[in-house]
Amino acid sequence: MIYIGTSGFSYDDWKGRFYPERIAKKDMLSYYAATFKAVEINSTYYAIPPITTFATMDAKTPDDFRFAVKAHKDMTHSSDASGESFLAFLRSIRPLRDSGKFGCMLAQFPWSFKPTPENIDRLREFRERVGDLPTVIEFRNSAWVNEDTFALLRDLDLGFCSVDEPRLKGLMPPIAAATSAIGYVRFHGRNAAKWFKHDQAYERYDYLYSEDELNEWVPKVRDIESKTAQTYVFFNNHYQGKSVHNAAMFAKMLGLSLPLDASHIKSDQLTFDVDF
C-alpha cells in the first residue's frame, strides 16, 4: 500500500493554486483530504500540540486517511532529552492511534548526528522511549548510509527514510532502502543554489520536479513497496504549492488513483497532465 501526500497542508501561498482563494484555515485539512490520503505533520517539531488538536484533525478526515507526525526537536536534537517530551508526544497523538489513522512518527536527526557509538546508543534509547510506536528515522548526514546502519535499524524495527535532495557533499544520497514494515520517502527538491544560502527558509524548497526526475524514483518506490506493509511518499517542496503538483504527478506515474480529480491544481510552471 502506497500513501502519497505532502509535508504540511496549511500554507497561505497554496490559495489559488490548490485551495480556493477564500478558504478558511480551519477548512484546509478537509479540502486536502478530499484529494490526498495522507499528510505529514511537521509543526510538531516546533511544538507538541494538545491532544484536542489531533482529535480535531481526526474528525476532519475520512477513515482511510493516514497521518505521519514529526517528532519534537527535543526528542531528536538534544542528547539529554527529558522523558517528558516523549510522554507529551505520545499523549498528543493518542486520538490518531485510537482511530487507526496514525501511520508513523518521523524522527529527523540533525546533520551533526553522526554514526558514533554514543549516537547508536541514543537510537537504541529512542526506541525504548517510544515503545512499539511505528517509527521512521531520517538521517541528514550521509555517513549513516551503510549496511551496518540498515542492520541496526532492522534490529530496532525502525524504518529508514529515503530522501531526494540536492546532490551536495555530505547530504544524503538518493538511496532507497526498507528496514521495517514501513517504507518512507521524502522529496525535498533539488534547489542546490538555495540549500545553504537563502534569506528565507522557504527558498530551500522552491523547486518543481520534472517528470524525468520523478521517473528515477518509480522503480525505487516500487521496490520499497514490495518489502513493506505500508509505504509513505511525501513531497516537501511546498513553496507555492509545488508539492501538491508533484504529488499528483507521481501518483499518476505509479498508476495510483487519488480520492478526487486533481485537475483543480494549477501552476504556470506545470506542463504535466494531472487529470485522473
Kind and range of the H or E run holding 90? helix 83-92
Q: How far apart are CA 250 and CA 25, in angstroms?
A: 26
More confident residue, 202 or 235: 235
CB 37 within 8 A of CB 4: yes
Mean pLDDT of the chain: 92
Task: Check residue 195 and give its pLDDT.
Answer: 85
Residue 40 phi, psi dihedral angles, 5° rounding: -105, 125
Amino acid making up residue 152 = L
Task: Check residue 200 and give its pLDDT.
Answer: 82
Task: Check residue 271 and give its pLDDT.
Answer: 37
pLDDT digits (tens, 9 = 90+) for 88-140: 999 999 999 999 999 999 999 999 999 999 999 999 999 999 999 999 999 99
CB 65 within 8 A of CB 101: yes
Residue 45 has pLDDT above 60, yes or no: yes
Task: Check residue 275 and give its pLDDT.
Answer: 39
How much is the average pLDDT of 37-56? 97
Task: Check residue 145 and give its pLDDT.
Answer: 96
Task: Check residue 276 and give its pLDDT.
Answer: 32
CB 71 within 8 A of CB 108: yes
DSSP 126-161: HHHHHTT--EEEE--SGGG-SHHHHHHHHHHT-EEE
More confident residue, 64 or 204: 64
Task: Check residue 199 and give its pLDDT.
Answer: 82
More confident residue, 43 or 268: 43
Amino acid making up residue 156 = L
Task: Check residue 262 and give its pLDDT.
Answer: 53
Task: Check residue 170 and give its pLDDT.
Answer: 84
Kind and range of the H or E run holding 3? strand 2-7
> Residue 204's pLDDT band (boundaries 50, 70, 90)?
confident
Task: Check residue 265 and give its pLDDT.
Answer: 59
Task: Check residue 15 and give its pLDDT.
Answer: 96
Q: How far apart are CA 82 and CA 72, in angstroms?
A: 12
Q: If we measure between CA atoms, which residue out of 264, 262, 269, 217 comes closest to residue 240?
A: 269
Residue 274 has pLDDT above 70, yes or no: no
CB 231 within 8 A of CB 4: no
Q: Which residues contact 180 (CB under 8 A, 6 or more apart)?
A: 134, 136, 153, 154, 157, 158, 159, 160, 228
More confident residue, 38 or 261: 38
pLDDT digits (tens, 9 = 90+) for 150-194: 999 999 999 999 999 999 888 899 999 999 999 999 999 999 888
Cell numbers 487529470 correspond to what residue?
Answer: 275
Residue 241 has pLDDT above 90, yes or no: yes
> Residue 268's pLDDT band (boundaries 50, 70, 90)?
very low
The domain defined by 2-253 folds into TIM Barrel (3.20.20)
Q: How far apart are CA 102 and CA 99, in angstroms?
A: 8
What 3-state DSSP class applies to 9? coil
